[in-house]
Chains A and B, each alone.
Chain A
């Protein structure tokens, strides 16, 4: 086996992984004041008054869970399934309620992030240090000022940078340095200042570099061996991981909210984004000796929403989003499509002291053009959502909530045009979710406690999948199949609000039975959706004291399958991960300084979340954050 070891050493030398540098400029963000709904939910992890299950992780919770990337904290939210390709730099996608990652939108400061090429949003790319909070809403949102394209989503994960309220002429500056196992080093700097009376400008820059060369065991019975490497598919006997993927993106976005009158509020959003992707396999046996695919995706986006308060309890809103998306690339047969999308939405909300009812109708229409190959037909679809929250017993903080949503996701450019697989005649995937639950949130003896339980049924039909065509050597994308999920999300939270020593506990459990209901004659009939454990759970406990803060957290996932056919050869065993951290904040007149030590995967559990992508073992991380 000497050759394998040699390969492994070469791999270590050459694979200095370079995660992209992210830099975003958020300009002209005009903040006047938050609308009441947001104020209610702030500082709380649950939103008892929301019509849908809504989870929020603030900076404190992210500290407690040792969150480096936004995806890390989502693993602790019930109802979400994170598909993690291992370590820093590995792709991380989130699926909510068995709907699939493409039905879970990601919003950055209220504006949807899109990837028209693959439809896949990598949450591993968003550093937790950029986020003041992360919120996940599984169903219709109470917020009537949501832009049309976000309102039409089955589930939304919102990353909020949360600009501080600054006095005029003041600024806030912070710098953070983290160093951890596998030579992971990250540096982050942020500067926020007031420019003029109404404008707050925030500049952020983050740099992260990791060798990612964590050791793992390649388990092949008698030929198992200890190796090191980066997130990559690990093949038996052949370990020359060499493919590289570069992904650079930049965007500029702006939000303007104006209160025209007591009754009328307007919000405008604008965004320009560009994503540059390059896939390189430098050793391919083709004429050029390499595969080097480059893609540039650009998007322009404009949105307007008007909210009108008809009466004290009754409001209505209407919004239109316009989007222009284009994909260019270096391939000889790339279609190079451009899509024009108009999303419109109209919503109504009745909100009394004890009852909130929302109803919404979304519409999408597209027009598509291509430079090569025939373009897809226009899409023109309606999709409704509705929600109810009833405060049954105000004194006890007991709420009942229910929601229904019928949403869709359009085929991506890859679905329609990718090489020989894409097919232009695809229909959108349709998702419908019916959910009902109970939530109790109250305070007693200086402790805020909440208990919730929500059951749901979801269906995804016309799933877009790759299947063998009539020539079995040529695969093609096709609308096929139905997935039905019955699920339950439940949890308990205790937060101590007073005293010098304040402990908190959060426990959650998720049950998901996602069944393939495509064809009763199929061998996969009623089989569980891949990468969807039936049982999963998480627990976080932390304590805040005047001296030091400490946390302990646990993630558990039951057995699941890595394939739609639930044969024993595809069974992935259950796993758990335990972490802990300890941190302290020093405050003076001039600055605030936080020192933190984190231990991730404390028991050095070796597992693969995605088949053949080993996860790292025990890791240690130290960080310093200074805010002036």
Chain B
């Protein structure tokens, strides 16, 4: 981020030479690269202008996604999909799993997006004592995303709960973070003390999430990169009022010994490492891209661009690891929307996408099929849940956390906490197979054309924890859920792949928080007994990670939240014999975890519920 002097002087920015009117790529060029479906390009905008944007360039169509916003054609797919803008100074973006994580520095939030739809699934505000933490850079490791914040902290975000779950203090104004050898390396710039910057790199042990040491480097360390067993950090030094400039160096840190093993006198602003070679740009020579052999410390190519293409102001560089194509963001004059330039490995310009966003700073390759639909506004809703009758979670790692149990809580107070969570965008876990929750609506959900109610969970692609839905109408009119229950048949029941009335016994573990052994339908004794519809095993192990596939339709926490994925039709409710129940409306819903599964990465499969609401709408 370029937060220069903001004190007293609102600076007026001006212009250098740049491109004329923004134009798109020429004639749907084929721009495929290494099997990716396209790239997301994050642009930070201008400081204090709330104009960070996110663009999607589809390799299939060869075009950036555009739409007509209130101010004309826009490439900001974040606003297109979410109906609001990202905020101020989005500094960094990371694709992890199937989600995009964006660190928005001045707005002090982390946005978590579903990469396939660009839909924001969570916005995490980062504050300490009422002060913005200013998240700057991101890295990820083993199910957690780590963000370094300018207030001298690193915060850990659990990708499952999408919540910040721990924070560790590091040095002053960390400006870079990377992960190597089971450790996090954080460059403490101390940049807010211009003449007394920090000069350390914090080392954080990932398993304990504690800072274990600080490595002394040159003053004002900034960008930091991992490469195998080494970490490279750019140290800018102290501003020299004689030359009116910085004098930058590159350090190599050996992550086995955590010692600085080499220092190169190369003025680097930013780089990207592939195969121990660093494509970088510095200052002094305009937009020159150079290549540094990190093994020897020698610049092997002092001018990567061979066809005379001029980059006015390089603002980020990304090298595709297999094709070695080089993606450079050109910030132009910091005021005009910048461009994305793609170069062949030989340094010839392949294509240019102008006008992509103001100060584009991050390029992320995406492998998912991306479908971006325009925000239609939240539907006007006339029915909402207002009661939780029963909350009966099966054992699970988040039980007593989502919602949080406090001493003195009983079944009634936990049910009240569930209601509060479901009404305010919180999260309720059902625990392992069989755990359930029963809720009531304040108005009968009428069986209308199309979907009638919606239940959101926290699923993303490859992490489905499907729950089965039951519905009931208050036919005796006593307001209690003591009427006939009808199961909503999703794809698995209809295809006969599920096992109805499967009973499971959980055995109390010997230690608190220990694993709960369980027995299937044969062992019918003990105190924690659940009977539920068992859905097929959806787990597989691919590319060194567990994948939990979603079913086709009809389950909670099965697919990323969207109107399409989370909606249910009362017509899907069936009688015990599988014939349509033909209900006119419903008043109660029960959701019950329908899968059994447990793994070492994410623990047991537990359905999570974050919202339940009617889709019945008022007549316009």
Q: Nearest 7 CB-CB pairs, A to B?
A: A222-B83, A286-B192, A471-B283, A236-B87, A568-B72, A221-B84, A223-B84
Q: Which segment of B105-113, B290-298, B360-368, B585-593 sits at the interface?
A: B105-113
Residue of B173, B283, B424 with most chain A CB atoms under a 10 A cut-off? B283
Residues from 312 to 342 in A contacting B, C-beta threshold 8 Å = 332-333
Give me the interface of B with A, judged by CB distance under 8 Å.
Answer: 2, 4-5, 7-9, 11-20, 46, 48-51, 71-74, 79, 82-88, 104, 106-109, 123, 125, 127, 130-132, 134, 150-152, 172-173, 190, 192-196, 236, 239, 241, 244-246, 267, 269, 283-284, 313, 332-337, 358, 375, 377-378, 424
19 A-B pairs besides A3-B127, A286-B172 with CB distance below 8 A are A221-B375, A233-B48, A240-B131, A277-B8, A287-B196, A332-B195, A419-B5, A420-B5, A423-B244, A463-B14, A465-B13, A471-B283, A473-B283, A480-B14, A522-B15, A524-B14, A565-B336, A569-B71, A571-B71
Q: Do residues A418 and B9 form an inter-chain contact, with CB atoms below 8 A?
A: yes
Q: Do residues A238 and B424 form an inter-chain contact, with CB atoms below 8 A?
A: no
Q: Do residues B18 and A523 form an inter-chain contact, with CB atoms below 8 A?
A: yes
Q: Which of A224, A470, A471, A564 contacts B335 (CB 8 A)?
A: A564
23 inter-chain pairs at a CB distance below 8 angstroms, sorted by A residue, are: A220-B50, A221-B83, A221-B85, A222-B83, A235-B50, A236-B107, A237-B108, A238-B108, A240-B132, A279-B8, A285-B134, A293-B7, A293-B8, A465-B13, A466-B12, A473-B269, A480-B14, A518-B14, A519-B17, A523-B19, A523-B332, A524-B336, A564-B14
Kindly state whether residue A17 has any CB partner on chain B within 8 Å: no
Q: Do residues A238 and B132 form an inter-chain contact, with CB atoms below 8 A?
A: yes
Q: Please, which residues of chain B bring their CB within 8 A of the CB of A563? A: 13, 46, 335
Q: Please classify the interface of chain A as helix (H, G, I), strand (E, B), loop, or mixed, using the class held by over half of its residues.
A: loop
Q: Please, which residues of chain A bring their CB within 8 A of the CB of B71? A: 568-569, 571
Q: Do residues B131 and A283 form an inter-chain contact, with CB atoms below 8 A?
A: yes
Residue of A7, A236, A284, A524 with most chain B CB atoms under a 10 A cut-off? A236
Q: Do residues A564 and B12 form an inter-chain contact, with CB atoms below 8 A?
A: yes
How long is the Cα–Cα vector from A283 to B128 in the complex, in angstroms?
11
Interchain nearest-CB distance for B105 vs A (Å): 9
Q: Please, which residues of chain B bring their CB within 8 A of the CB of A419? A: 5, 194
Kindly state whether residue A516 has any CB partner on chain B within 8 Å: yes
How long is the Cα–Cα vector from A476 to B241 in the complex, in angstroms?
12
Residues from 276 to 295 in A contacting B, C-beta threshold 8 Å = 277, 279, 281, 283-287, 291, 293
How long is the Cα–Cα vector from A466 to B83 in the complex, in angstroms?
34
**Contact indicator per residue, chain A 526-567, by CB within 8 Å of chain B (1) or not (0):** 000010000000000000000000000000000000111101
Interchain nearest-CB distance for B311 vs A (Å): 11
Kindly state whether residue A250 has any CB partner on chain B within 8 Å: no
A222-B83, A238-B132, A519-B17 known; A291 vs B7 contact (CB < 8 Å):
yes
How long is the Cα–Cα vector from A221 to B374 in the complex, in angstroms?
13
Q: Do residues A518 and B104 form an inter-chain contact, with CB atoms below 8 A?
A: no
Interchain nearest-CB distance for A466 vs B (Å): 4
Q: Which of A285, A293, A565 contacts B192 (CB 8 A)?
A: A285
Q: Do residues A466 and B7 form an inter-chain contact, with CB atoms below 8 A?
A: no
Interchain nearest-CB distance for A117 vs B (Å): 8
Q: Do residues B313 and A238 form an inter-chain contact, with CB atoms below 8 A?
A: no
Q: Please, which residues of chain B bring their CB within 8 A of the CB of A381? A: none
Kindly state whether residue A421 has any CB partner on chain B within 8 Å: yes
Interchain nearest-CB distance for B172 vs A (Å): 7
Kindly state whether residue A164 has any CB partner on chain B within 8 Å: no
Q: Please, which residues of chain B bring their CB within 8 A of the CB of A612? A: 48-50
Interchain nearest-CB distance for B245 vs A (Å): 5
Kindly state whether residue A602 has any CB partner on chain B within 8 Å: no
Residues from 570 to 628 in A contacting B, C-beta threshold 8 Å = 571, 611-612
A1's nearest neighbour on chain B, judged by CB, is B425
Q: Please, which residues of chain A bring their CB within 8 A of the CB of B104? A: 237
Q: Please, which residues of chain B bring their CB within 8 A of the CB of A118? A: 8-9
Kindly state whether residue A392 has any CB partner on chain B within 8 Å: no
Q: Do residues A285 and B85 form an inter-chain contact, with CB atoms below 8 A?
A: no
Q: Please, which residues of chain A bring their CB within 8 A of the CB of B51? A: 569
Residue of B20, B104, B241, B246 with most chain A CB atoms under a 10 A cut-off? B241
Q: Please, which residues of chain A bring their CB within 8 A of the CB of B150? A: 285
B151's nearest neighbour on chain A, judged by CB, is A285
B53's nearest neighbour on chain A, judged by CB, is A569
Interchain nearest-CB distance for A83 vs B (Å): 10
Q: Please, which residues of chain B bring their CB within 8 A of the CB of A476? A: 244
Q: Do residues A222 and B14 form an inter-chain contact, with CB atoms below 8 A?
A: no
Q: Please, which residues of chain A bring their CB within 8 A of the CB of B127? A: 3, 240
Q: Please, which residues of chain A bring their CB within 8 A of the CB of B246? A: 471, 473-474
A417's nearest neighbour on chain B, judged by CB, is B241
Kindly state whether residue A467 has any CB partner on chain B within 8 Å: yes
How long is the Cα–Cα vector from A118 to B12 in the complex, in angstroms?
13
Kindly state whether residue A23 has any CB partner on chain B within 8 Å: no
Q: Please, which residues of chain A bring their CB within 8 A of the CB of B16? A: 467, 519, 522
How long is the Cα–Cα vector from A468 to B2 in the complex, in angstroms?
10
Q: Do residues B85 and A475 form an inter-chain contact, with CB atoms below 8 A?
A: no
Residues from 455 to 501 in A contacting B, C-beta threshold 8 Å = 463, 465-476, 480-481
Q: Please, which residues of chain B bring their CB within 8 A of the CB of A522? A: 15-18, 333
Kindly state whether residue A521 has any CB partner on chain B within 8 Å: yes
Q: Which of A238, A332, A481 contacts B109 (CB 8 A)?
A: A238
Kindly state whether residue A414 has any CB partner on chain B within 8 Å: yes
Interchain nearest-CB distance for B401 vs A (Å): 20
Interchain nearest-CB distance for B336 vs A (Å): 5
Q: Do residues A222 and B378 form an inter-chain contact, with CB atoms below 8 A?
A: yes
Interchain nearest-CB distance for A324 vs B (Å): 23
Q: Do residues A530 and B12 form an inter-chain contact, with CB atoms below 8 A?
A: yes
A332's nearest neighbour on chain B, judged by CB, is B195
A14's nearest neighbour on chain B, judged by CB, is B130
Residue of A3, A286, A332, A418 with most chain B CB atoms under a 10 A cut-off? A286
Interchain nearest-CB distance for B87 vs A (Å): 4
Q: Please, which residues of chain B bring their CB within 8 A of the CB of A466? A: 4, 9, 11-14
Kindly state whether residue A365 has any CB partner on chain B within 8 Å: no
Kindly state whether residue A197 has any CB partner on chain B within 8 Å: no
Q: Which of A7, A420, A465, A480 contacts B244 (CB 8 A)?
A: A420
Q: Do residues B336 and A567 form an inter-chain contact, with CB atoms below 8 A?
A: yes
Q: Do residues A420 and B50 form an inter-chain contact, with CB atoms below 8 A?
A: no
Q: Please, which residues of chain B bring their CB within 8 A of the CB of A262? A: none
How long is the Cα–Cα vector from A152 to B104 in the complex, in angstroms?
47
Q: Please, which residues of chain B bring their CB within 8 A of the CB of A373? A: 241
Q: Please, which residues of chain A bring their CB within 8 A of the CB of B283? A: 470-473
Kindly state whether residue A261 has any CB partner on chain B within 8 Å: no
Q: Which of A238, A281, A423, A474 contacts B88 (CB 8 A)?
A: A238
Q: Please, which residues of chain B bring their CB within 8 A of the CB of A287? A: 172, 190, 193, 196
A2-B424, A118-B8, A564-B335 known; A519 vs B15 contact (CB < 8 Å):
yes
Interchain nearest-CB distance for B278 vs A (Å): 18
A91's nearest neighbour on chain B, judged by CB, is B10
Interchain nearest-CB distance for B189 vs A (Å): 11
Kindly state whether residue A10 has any CB partner on chain B within 8 Å: yes
Q: Do residues B14 and A481 form an inter-chain contact, with CB atoms below 8 A?
A: yes
Q: Please, which residues of chain A bring their CB within 8 A of the CB of B336? A: 523-524, 565, 567
Q: Please, which residues of chain B bring their CB within 8 A of the CB of A480? A: 14
Q: Do residues A237 and B244 form an inter-chain contact, with CB atoms below 8 A?
A: no
How long is the Cα–Cα vector from A2 to B125 in the complex, in angstroms?
11
Q: Do residues A222 and B87 form an inter-chain contact, with CB atoms below 8 A?
A: no
Q: Do residues B17 and A521 form an inter-chain contact, with CB atoms below 8 A?
A: yes
Q: Do residues A286 and B15 form an inter-chain contact, with CB atoms below 8 A?
A: no
Q: Do residues A238 and B79 form an inter-chain contact, with CB atoms below 8 A?
A: no
Q: Which of A3, A222, A285 contacts B375 (CB 8 A)?
A: A222
How long is the Cα–Cα vector from A235 to B5 in the complex, in angstroms?
18
B239's nearest neighbour on chain A, judged by CB, is A420
How long is the Cα–Cα vector from A223 to B83 in the complex, in angstroms?
8
Q: Which of A475, A518, A568 contacts B15 (CB 8 A)?
A: A518
A287-B172, A568-B71, A612-B48 known; A236 vs B241 contact (CB < 8 Å):
no
Q: Please, which residues of chain B bring their CB within 8 A of the CB of A567? A: 336-337
**Contact indicator per residue, chain A 252-290, by CB within 8 Å of chain B (1) or not (0):** 000000000000000000000000010101011111000
A233's nearest neighbour on chain B, judged by CB, is B48
Q: Do residues B106 and A222 form an inter-chain contact, with CB atoms below 8 A?
A: no
